[in-house]
Amino acid sequence: MTDMTGLDLTRKLIAFNTISPPGNEADCAKFIAALLEPAGFEITWHDWQSRRPNLIATLPATEPVSRGGIVYSGHLDTVPLGQAAWSVDPFAGEIRNGRLYGRGTSDMKSGVAAAILAGLRLAHEPVRRSEVKLIFSAGEETGCEGVLALAERPDILGTCEALIVAEPTDNRPFVGHKGALWLSLVHKGVTAHGSMPEKGVNAIFAACKSIEALRRFDFGVAEHPVMGGASLNIGNMSAGMNVNSVPDLARVGVDIRSTVGQSNAQIRAQLAALLDKDVEIEPLTDMDHVYTDPQTPWMQEVFSVVEDVTGVEPSVGAATYFTDASVLKPAMGDPTTLIMGPGAMAMAHQTDEYCETALMAPCIDVFTRLGQQHVA
Protein backbone atom coordinates (compact mmCIF):
# COMPACT_ATOMS: atom_id res chain seq x y z
CA MET A 1 0.00 0.00 0.00
CA THR A 2 2.96 2.33 0.52
CA ASP A 3 3.47 2.09 -3.26
CA MET A 4 0.32 4.19 -3.72
CA THR A 5 1.24 7.70 -4.80
CA GLY A 6 0.01 10.81 -3.07
CA LEU A 7 -1.93 11.79 -6.17
CA ASP A 8 -3.63 8.40 -6.37
CA LEU A 9 -4.70 8.60 -2.76
CA THR A 10 -5.82 12.23 -2.98
CA ARG A 11 -8.02 11.35 -5.95
CA LYS A 12 -9.61 8.54 -3.97
CA LEU A 13 -10.26 10.87 -1.03
CA ILE A 14 -11.85 13.65 -3.06
CA ALA A 15 -14.20 11.11 -4.67
CA PHE A 16 -15.98 11.07 -1.30
CA ASN A 17 -18.39 14.00 -1.12
CA THR A 18 -17.76 15.35 2.39
CA ILE A 19 -19.15 18.85 1.87
CA SER A 20 -20.10 20.39 5.20
CA PRO A 21 -22.90 20.75 5.89
CA PRO A 22 -23.92 17.95 6.07
CA GLY A 23 -20.36 16.56 6.20
CA ASN A 24 -21.01 12.81 6.02
CA GLU A 25 -17.33 11.98 6.57
CA ALA A 26 -18.03 8.38 7.67
CA ASP A 27 -17.35 6.58 4.39
CA CYS A 28 -14.15 8.52 3.78
CA ALA A 29 -12.98 7.78 7.32
CA LYS A 30 -13.77 4.06 6.95
CA PHE A 31 -11.75 3.98 3.71
CA ILE A 32 -8.77 5.50 5.53
CA ALA A 33 -9.11 3.10 8.46
CA ALA A 34 -9.07 0.18 6.02
CA LEU A 35 -5.68 1.39 4.76
CA LEU A 36 -4.16 1.93 8.19
CA GLU A 37 -5.40 -1.00 10.25
CA PRO A 38 -3.64 -3.76 8.25
CA ALA A 39 -0.38 -1.78 8.65
CA GLY A 40 -0.57 -2.05 12.43
CA PHE A 41 -2.49 1.08 13.39
CA GLU A 42 -4.97 0.75 16.24
CA ILE A 43 -8.23 2.41 15.20
CA THR A 44 -10.38 4.41 17.61
CA TRP A 45 -13.66 5.99 16.57
CA HIS A 46 -15.08 9.06 18.22
CA ASP A 47 -18.63 9.44 16.94
CA TRP A 48 -19.16 13.15 17.20
CA GLN A 49 -22.42 13.08 15.23
CA SER A 50 -24.26 10.52 13.13
CA ARG A 51 -22.02 9.62 10.16
CA ARG A 52 -19.53 12.26 11.31
CA PRO A 53 -16.79 10.45 13.21
CA ASN A 54 -13.37 11.60 14.26
CA LEU A 55 -10.82 8.92 13.36
CA ILE A 56 -7.83 8.34 15.66
CA ALA A 57 -5.25 5.86 14.35
CA THR A 58 -2.35 4.99 16.64
CA LEU A 59 0.85 3.20 15.66
CA PRO A 60 2.38 1.91 18.91
CA ALA A 61 6.05 2.16 19.77
CA THR A 62 8.09 -1.02 19.30
CA GLU A 63 10.52 -0.18 22.13
CA PRO A 64 10.17 1.37 25.57
CA VAL A 65 8.91 4.91 25.00
CA SER A 66 11.67 7.51 25.27
CA ARG A 67 9.73 10.59 24.23
CA GLY A 68 6.24 11.88 23.58
CA GLY A 69 4.47 10.88 20.40
CA ILE A 70 4.17 12.62 17.06
CA VAL A 71 0.73 13.44 15.66
CA TYR A 72 -0.36 14.16 12.09
CA SER A 73 -3.72 15.90 11.81
CA GLY A 74 -6.18 16.80 9.08
CA HIS A 75 -9.89 17.30 8.51
CA LEU A 76 -12.05 15.33 6.10
CA ASP A 77 -14.86 17.81 5.52
CA THR A 78 -14.83 20.42 2.77
CA VAL A 79 -16.72 23.63 2.08
CA PRO A 80 -19.63 23.75 -0.41
CA LEU A 81 -19.00 24.15 -4.12
CA GLY A 82 -20.31 27.72 -4.25
CA GLN A 83 -22.64 29.39 -6.72
CA ALA A 84 -20.26 29.63 -9.68
CA ALA A 85 -20.18 26.72 -12.12
CA TRP A 86 -17.10 24.49 -12.07
CA SER A 87 -15.30 23.74 -15.33
CA VAL A 88 -14.41 20.25 -14.03
CA ASP A 89 -16.20 17.54 -12.08
CA PRO A 90 -15.38 18.50 -8.48
CA PHE A 91 -15.19 14.85 -7.40
CA ALA A 92 -13.42 13.25 -10.38
CA GLY A 93 -9.83 14.22 -9.58
CA GLU A 94 -8.94 15.41 -13.08
CA ILE A 95 -5.25 16.14 -13.66
CA ARG A 96 -4.38 18.87 -16.16
CA ASN A 97 -1.13 20.76 -16.71
CA GLY A 98 0.41 19.68 -13.44
CA ARG A 99 -2.68 20.40 -11.34
CA LEU A 100 -5.07 18.03 -9.61
CA TYR A 101 -8.58 19.50 -9.60
CA GLY A 102 -11.47 18.89 -7.23
CA ARG A 103 -13.16 20.06 -4.07
CA GLY A 104 -10.79 19.44 -1.22
CA THR A 105 -7.66 18.92 -3.30
CA SER A 106 -5.90 21.73 -1.44
CA ASP A 107 -8.12 22.11 1.63
CA MET A 108 -7.13 19.58 2.62
CA LYS A 109 -7.32 16.06 1.25
CA SER A 110 -3.88 16.29 -0.35
CA GLY A 111 -2.51 17.00 3.13
CA VAL A 112 -4.51 14.11 4.57
CA ALA A 113 -3.09 11.84 1.87
CA ALA A 114 0.45 12.97 2.69
CA ALA A 115 -0.11 12.20 6.38
CA ILE A 116 -1.56 8.75 5.61
CA LEU A 117 1.31 7.76 3.35
CA ALA A 118 3.90 9.03 5.81
CA GLY A 119 2.16 6.98 8.49
CA LEU A 120 2.23 3.86 6.33
CA ARG A 121 5.95 4.32 5.74
CA LEU A 122 6.56 4.76 9.45
CA ALA A 123 4.73 1.49 10.06
CA HIS A 124 7.67 -0.23 8.34
CA GLU A 125 10.26 1.29 10.67
CA PRO A 126 11.84 -1.60 12.62
CA VAL A 127 12.35 0.54 15.72
CA ARG A 128 9.95 3.12 17.07
CA ARG A 129 10.64 4.66 20.46
CA SER A 130 7.48 6.76 20.47
CA GLU A 131 4.00 6.31 19.12
CA VAL A 132 2.72 7.80 15.89
CA LYS A 133 -0.86 9.04 15.80
CA LEU A 134 -3.05 10.19 12.92
CA ILE A 135 -6.12 12.27 13.78
CA PHE A 136 -8.63 12.91 11.01
CA SER A 137 -11.49 15.09 12.13
CA ALA A 138 -15.00 15.95 11.04
CA GLY A 139 -16.59 19.38 11.10
CA GLU A 140 -13.49 21.57 10.94
CA GLU A 141 -14.92 23.92 8.32
CA THR A 142 -17.77 24.94 10.61
CA GLY A 143 -15.57 25.97 13.53
CA CYS A 144 -13.46 22.92 14.49
CA GLU A 145 -16.58 21.30 15.93
CA GLY A 146 -15.26 17.76 15.65
CA VAL A 147 -12.04 18.29 17.59
CA LEU A 148 -13.83 20.48 20.14
CA ALA A 149 -15.94 17.44 20.96
CA LEU A 150 -12.88 15.19 20.85
CA ALA A 151 -11.03 17.45 23.30
CA GLU A 152 -13.65 16.53 25.88
CA ARG A 153 -12.33 12.95 25.71
CA PRO A 154 -8.70 13.13 26.90
CA ASP A 155 -8.76 9.36 27.38
CA ILE A 156 -9.06 9.03 23.60
CA LEU A 157 -7.06 12.04 22.51
CA GLY A 158 -3.99 11.64 24.71
CA THR A 159 -0.93 13.91 24.56
CA CYS A 160 2.02 14.35 22.20
CA GLU A 161 5.36 16.07 21.84
CA ALA A 162 5.07 17.18 18.20
CA LEU A 163 1.99 18.06 16.13
CA ILE A 164 1.83 18.43 12.35
CA VAL A 165 -1.35 19.89 10.85
CA ALA A 166 -1.37 19.29 7.10
CA GLU A 167 -3.37 22.35 6.04
CA PRO A 168 -2.47 24.02 2.71
CA THR A 169 0.76 26.03 2.85
CA ASP A 170 2.31 25.30 -0.57
CA ASN A 171 4.77 23.15 1.43
CA ARG A 172 5.98 26.14 3.45
CA PRO A 173 6.64 25.19 7.10
CA PHE A 174 4.53 27.58 9.16
CA VAL A 175 5.16 27.98 12.88
CA GLY A 176 1.56 28.88 13.68
CA HIS A 177 -1.51 30.81 12.71
CA LYS A 178 -3.60 33.70 13.92
CA GLY A 179 -6.53 33.19 16.21
CA ALA A 180 -10.11 33.78 15.12
CA LEU A 181 -12.77 35.39 17.27
CA TRP A 182 -16.08 35.86 15.46
CA LEU A 183 -18.74 37.70 17.42
CA SER A 184 -22.32 38.82 17.04
CA LEU A 185 -22.97 42.07 18.89
CA VAL A 186 -26.62 42.17 19.85
CA HIS A 187 -28.32 45.55 20.38
CA LYS A 188 -31.88 45.67 21.67
CA GLY A 189 -34.33 48.53 21.41
CA VAL A 190 -38.07 49.15 21.58
CA THR A 191 -40.22 48.96 18.46
CA ALA A 192 -42.73 51.65 17.49
CA HIS A 193 -44.53 52.95 14.43
CA GLY A 194 -42.20 54.63 11.93
CA SER A 195 -44.26 57.80 12.07
CA MET A 196 -43.69 58.06 15.83
CA PRO A 197 -40.02 57.16 16.36
CA GLU A 198 -39.98 59.03 19.66
CA LYS A 199 -42.16 56.26 21.08
CA GLY A 200 -39.44 53.65 20.48
CA VAL A 201 -35.71 53.03 20.97
CA ASN A 202 -33.88 52.48 17.70
CA ALA A 203 -31.49 49.52 17.94
CA ILE A 204 -29.67 50.64 14.78
CA PHE A 205 -28.48 53.80 16.52
CA ALA A 206 -27.03 51.66 19.31
CA ALA A 207 -25.33 49.46 16.70
CA CYS A 208 -23.86 52.50 14.97
CA LYS A 209 -22.43 53.66 18.28
CA SER A 210 -20.74 50.29 18.70
CA ILE A 211 -19.40 50.39 15.14
CA GLU A 212 -17.84 53.81 15.69
CA ALA A 213 -16.22 52.59 18.90
CA LEU A 214 -14.82 49.56 17.08
CA ARG A 215 -13.39 51.73 14.30
CA ARG A 216 -11.26 53.52 16.89
CA PHE A 217 -10.41 50.41 18.91
CA ASP A 218 -6.75 49.74 19.69
CA PHE A 219 -5.83 46.20 20.77
CA GLY A 220 -2.82 47.54 22.65
CA VAL A 221 -0.60 44.76 21.33
CA ALA A 222 2.50 45.30 19.21
CA GLU A 223 2.71 43.75 15.75
CA HIS A 224 4.44 40.39 15.92
CA PRO A 225 7.50 39.95 13.65
CA VAL A 226 6.21 36.63 12.27
CA MET A 227 2.45 36.67 12.68
CA GLY A 228 1.80 40.37 12.23
CA GLY A 229 -0.77 42.47 14.03
CA ALA A 230 -4.28 41.77 15.19
CA SER A 231 -7.12 42.80 12.92
CA LEU A 232 -10.81 43.63 13.27
CA ASN A 233 -13.39 43.58 10.51
CA ILE A 234 -17.11 44.34 10.67
CA GLY A 235 -18.43 41.82 8.19
CA ASN A 236 -22.20 42.14 8.32
CA MET A 237 -25.14 43.81 10.01
CA SER A 238 -28.81 42.91 10.23
CA ALA A 239 -31.59 45.02 11.67
CA GLY A 240 -35.25 45.86 11.25
CA MET A 241 -38.19 44.08 9.72
CA ASN A 242 -39.72 46.86 7.62
CA VAL A 243 -39.02 50.46 6.78
CA ASN A 244 -41.99 51.90 8.66
CA SER A 245 -41.13 50.49 12.09
CA VAL A 246 -38.51 51.40 14.67
CA PRO A 247 -36.15 48.40 14.78
CA ASP A 248 -35.90 46.74 18.18
CA LEU A 249 -32.99 44.44 17.31
CA ALA A 250 -29.70 45.00 15.48
CA ARG A 251 -26.84 42.53 15.11
CA VAL A 252 -23.31 43.40 14.05
CA GLY A 253 -20.94 40.64 12.92
CA VAL A 254 -17.30 41.13 13.92
CA ASP A 255 -14.31 39.10 12.70
CA ILE A 256 -11.18 39.50 14.87
CA ARG A 257 -7.87 37.79 14.08
CA SER A 258 -5.66 37.67 17.15
CA THR A 259 -1.89 37.41 17.34
CA VAL A 260 0.92 36.54 19.74
CA GLY A 261 0.67 38.46 23.01
CA GLN A 262 -3.10 38.33 23.39
CA SER A 263 -5.80 35.78 24.01
CA ASN A 264 -9.34 35.77 22.72
CA ALA A 265 -10.57 35.90 26.32
CA GLN A 266 -8.62 39.12 26.86
CA ILE A 267 -10.07 40.61 23.68
CA ARG A 268 -13.62 39.80 24.77
CA ALA A 269 -12.94 41.52 28.09
CA GLN A 270 -11.61 44.57 26.22
CA LEU A 271 -14.73 44.77 24.08
CA ALA A 272 -17.01 44.36 27.09
CA ALA A 273 -15.29 47.38 28.65
CA LEU A 274 -15.42 49.35 25.37
CA LEU A 275 -19.07 48.82 24.41
CA ASP A 276 -22.18 49.91 26.26
CA LYS A 277 -23.06 47.52 29.06
CA ASP A 278 -26.35 46.50 27.45
CA VAL A 279 -24.66 45.24 24.28
CA GLU A 280 -24.68 41.44 24.32
CA ILE A 281 -21.51 39.81 22.96
CA GLU A 282 -22.31 36.40 21.48
CA PRO A 283 -19.33 34.28 20.36
CA LEU A 284 -19.71 32.50 17.02
CA THR A 285 -16.18 31.10 16.68
CA ASP A 286 -13.49 31.28 19.34
CA MET A 287 -10.11 29.84 18.27
CA ASP A 288 -6.94 31.13 19.90
CA HIS A 289 -3.75 31.67 17.92
CA VAL A 290 -1.10 28.95 17.64
CA TYR A 291 2.61 29.73 17.74
CA THR A 292 5.85 27.81 18.20
CA ASP A 293 9.12 29.70 18.54
CA PRO A 294 11.06 29.01 15.32
CA GLN A 295 14.26 28.68 17.37
CA THR A 296 13.04 25.60 19.22
CA PRO A 297 15.13 22.50 18.36
CA TRP A 298 12.27 20.66 16.66
CA MET A 299 11.33 23.62 14.44
CA GLN A 300 14.99 23.98 13.47
CA GLU A 301 14.90 20.29 12.59
CA VAL A 302 11.80 20.93 10.47
CA PHE A 303 13.48 23.75 8.55
CA SER A 304 16.54 21.57 7.92
CA VAL A 305 14.47 18.67 6.59
CA VAL A 306 12.36 20.95 4.37
CA GLU A 307 15.47 22.55 2.89
CA ASP A 308 17.10 19.16 2.33
CA VAL A 309 14.02 17.76 0.56
CA THR A 310 13.03 20.82 -1.47
CA GLY A 311 16.42 22.46 -2.02
CA VAL A 312 14.98 25.77 -0.86
CA GLU A 313 15.80 27.43 2.46
CA PRO A 314 12.41 28.07 4.09
CA SER A 315 11.46 31.43 5.52
CA VAL A 316 9.66 31.67 8.84
CA GLY A 317 5.95 32.30 8.35
CA ALA A 318 2.49 31.83 9.80
CA ALA A 319 -0.96 31.21 8.36
CA THR A 320 -3.77 33.74 8.39
CA TYR A 321 -6.48 31.06 8.67
CA PHE A 322 -7.18 28.99 11.79
CA THR A 323 -6.89 25.21 12.08
CA ASP A 324 -7.71 22.30 14.38
CA ALA A 325 -4.39 23.08 16.09
CA SER A 326 -6.23 25.81 18.03
CA VAL A 327 -7.95 22.99 19.89
CA LEU A 328 -5.44 20.13 19.65
CA LYS A 329 -2.37 22.04 20.83
CA PRO A 330 -3.73 23.00 24.27
CA ALA A 331 -5.67 19.73 24.59
CA MET A 332 -2.62 17.56 23.88
CA GLY A 333 -0.14 19.13 26.28
CA ASP A 334 1.06 22.15 24.25
CA PRO A 335 3.28 20.31 21.75
CA THR A 336 5.54 22.08 19.28
CA THR A 337 3.32 22.56 16.25
CA LEU A 338 3.97 22.71 12.51
CA ILE A 339 1.38 23.85 9.97
CA MET A 340 2.39 22.44 6.58
CA GLY A 341 0.76 20.79 3.61
CA PRO A 342 1.00 20.45 -0.17
CA GLY A 343 -2.24 22.27 -0.89
CA ALA A 344 -2.29 25.72 -2.48
CA MET A 345 -3.23 28.36 0.08
CA ALA A 346 -4.76 30.59 -2.58
CA MET A 347 -7.06 27.81 -3.80
CA ALA A 348 -8.74 26.98 -0.50
CA HIS A 349 -12.54 27.34 -0.85
CA GLN A 350 -12.20 28.45 -4.49
CA THR A 351 -14.17 27.38 -7.55
CA ASP A 352 -12.10 24.89 -9.61
CA GLU A 353 -9.94 24.20 -6.56
CA TYR A 354 -6.65 22.45 -7.35
CA CYS A 355 -3.32 21.49 -5.87
CA GLU A 356 0.03 21.39 -7.64
CA THR A 357 0.92 17.77 -8.35
CA ALA A 358 4.66 18.43 -7.96
CA LEU A 359 4.22 19.32 -4.27
CA MET A 360 2.78 15.98 -3.15
CA ALA A 361 5.91 13.80 -3.12
CA PRO A 362 8.14 16.33 -1.31
CA CYS A 363 5.53 16.80 1.40
CA ILE A 364 5.26 13.05 1.97
CA ASP A 365 9.05 12.86 2.19
CA VAL A 366 9.20 15.70 4.74
CA PHE A 367 6.45 14.15 6.87
CA THR A 368 8.14 10.75 6.72
CA ARG A 369 11.60 12.03 7.64
CA LEU A 370 10.25 14.08 10.54
CA GLY A 371 8.51 10.97 11.81
CA GLN A 372 11.60 8.80 11.36
CA GLN A 373 13.77 11.25 13.26
CA HIS A 374 11.19 11.56 16.01
CA VAL A 375 10.72 7.85 16.67
CA ALA A 376 14.38 6.84 16.21
The helix (H) or strand (E) run that includes residue 128 is: none
- CA atoms within a 13 Å half-sphere pointing along the CA-CB vector of 211: 17
- Catalytic status, residue 77: yes
CA 207 to chain centre: 31
CA 12 to chain centre: 22
Q: What's the angle, vertex CA 106, arms to CA 298 and CA 321, rounded to 5?
A: 65
Q: Which of 25, 107, 131, 140 is catalytic?
A: 140
Distance CA 103, CA 353 (A): 6
Q: How far, in Å, are 91, 95, 177, 326 from residue 84 at the CA level?
A: 16, 21, 29, 31
- Catalytic status, residue 308: no
Distance CA 143, CA 324 (A): 9
Q: Which of 25, 77, 107, 145 is catalytic?
A: 77
Distance CA 239, CA 246 (A): 10
In 3D space, the residue among 69, 299, 345 whose CA is nearest the CA of residue 173 turns out to be: 299
186 CB-near residues (< 8 Å, 6+ apart)? 249, 250, 251, 279, 280, 281, 282
Distance CA 229, CA 259 (A): 6
In 3D space, the residue among 249, 327, 319, 251 whose CA is nearest the CA of residue 285 turns out to be: 327
Q: How far, in Å, are 2, 124, 136, 249, 251 from residue 35 at the CA level?
A: 10, 14, 13, 53, 47
DSSP string, 278-344: T-EEEEEEEE--EE--TTSHHHHHHHHHHHHHHSSPPPPEEESS--THHHHHHHTT--EEEE--SS-
Sign, Cα dihedral of 294, 296, 299, 303 = positive
Whether the CB-CB separation of 254 and 274 falls below 8 Å is answered with: no
Whether the CB-CB separation of 256 and 181 falls below 8 Å is answered with: yes
DSSP state of 130: S
Active site residues: 77, 140
